[in-house]
Amino acid sequence: MFVTTKGLVLREARYKEADRILTILTMDQGKLTVRARGALRKGSQTAAACQTLCFSEFTLFGNRGKWAVNEASSVEQFLGLRDDLANLALGFYFSELLDTVCAEEVPDPQALSLGLNALYALSNQLWTPERIKAVFELRFLCAEGFEPAVASCGVCGKTEMTEPMFSPDSGMVHCRAGGGSAFGASLPLDREALDALCYIASAESKKIFSFTVPEESEKKLCRVCETFARVQLDKVFPSLEYWKSVK
């Protein structure tokens, strides 16, 4: 069976002498593990399209649950990432998040679209890497069923909170005075950071990066989004730690 689809290469691994094993998040087939025969050979016509963080069109051959690349051509290589080690590392973190959460052979077009938009913004330096990272983390978790409750205090129900806090364990915001041990270790926010958190969770997809927040508030926002992703997914991401070491 032959299938033509577009997908983002999340991961690649060398196999035997000249092949690659790819993990691809496709538009309509979900996440697939695919063998790209000869992709490491000099002059291979599929080599560029089979690189990690390349969005490509693939013709795949499927047989007994196994997939192989028959043809491949790149649609978007996000070349701006290749010129900056820190941005490339952050791109790998995005792909690691997608690979961790997205299920095999379950279509997830929303996750793919978000990943492509984040990589495009990062490659073209449309916003700071920190903002792009925070938006991707929070919006991706929202799309995958981890949406936090940020509209009001989880204890008293107030929408106007004095010294708001965020609990990565419960995914709730609460007033500093009303948290207690029930929420676990909470992180400080301020009004501007909380507004940004609410905006990212609920804005139209094409507008999720378009908000204004002071520098100090953005730092709080970024810490909350990163910690929320790590706690909810219960995983340490090596690509994230590497990004921090080179940015």
Which of 41-45, 141-145, 189-193 bottoms out in mean pLDDT, i.e. has the lowest? Answer: 41-45
Q: State the amino acid at position 143 in one-letter form.
A: A
What CATH number corresponds to the domain at position 158? 1.20.1440.120
Q: 219 and 124 in one domain?
A: yes
Q: 138 and 52 in one domain?
A: no
Q: 72 and 136 in one domain?
A: no
What CATH number corresponds to the domain at position 70? 2.40.50.140
Q: 27 and 145 in one domain?
A: no
Q: 233 and 148 in one domain?
A: yes
Specify the pTM: 0.94
Nearest to 19 by CA among 52, 54, 46, 58: 46
Q: 237 and 135 in one domain?
A: yes
Distance CA 166, CA 175 (A): 9
- Contact call for residues 40 and 31 (beta carbons, < 8 A): no
Q: 111 and 86 in one domain?
A: yes
Q: 207 and 86 in one domain?
A: yes
Q: 146 and 31 in one domain?
A: no
Report the chain's mean pLDDT, rounded to a whole number: 93
Q: Of 31, 58, 77, which one is at a domain's C-terminal end?
A: 77
Q: 112 and 222 in one domain?
A: yes
* Domains contained in the chain, number: 2
The pLDDT tens digits for 32-46 are 999 999 888 888 889
Cβ within 8 Å of residue 165, ≥6 positions away = 173, 174, 175, 176, 179, 183, 186, 187, 188, 189
- Strand-pair category, 55-63 with 2-15: antiparallel
Predicted pLDDT of residue 145: 95
Predicted pLDDT of residue 99: 97
* Segment 237-241 mean pLDDT: 96
Q: 30 and 127 in one domain?
A: no
Predicted pLDDT of residue 159: 86
The pLDDT tens digits for 165-184 are 999 999 999 988 765 555 67
- Strand-pair category, 66-76 with 2-15: unpaired
Predicted pLDDT of residue 1: 86
Distance CA 44, CA 222 (A): 41
Cα-Cα end-to-end distance for the chain: 44
The pLDDT tens digits for 66-115 are 999 999 999 999 999 999 999 999 999 999 999 999 999 999 999 999 99
Owning domain of residue 61: 2-77
Q: Of 32, 50, 77, which one is at a domain's C-terminal end?
A: 77
Q: 61 and 182 in one domain?
A: no
CA distances in angstroms from 105 to 30, 80, 140, listed in the order given: 4, 30, 18
Q: Of 33, 51, 77, which one is at a domain's C-terminal end?
A: 77
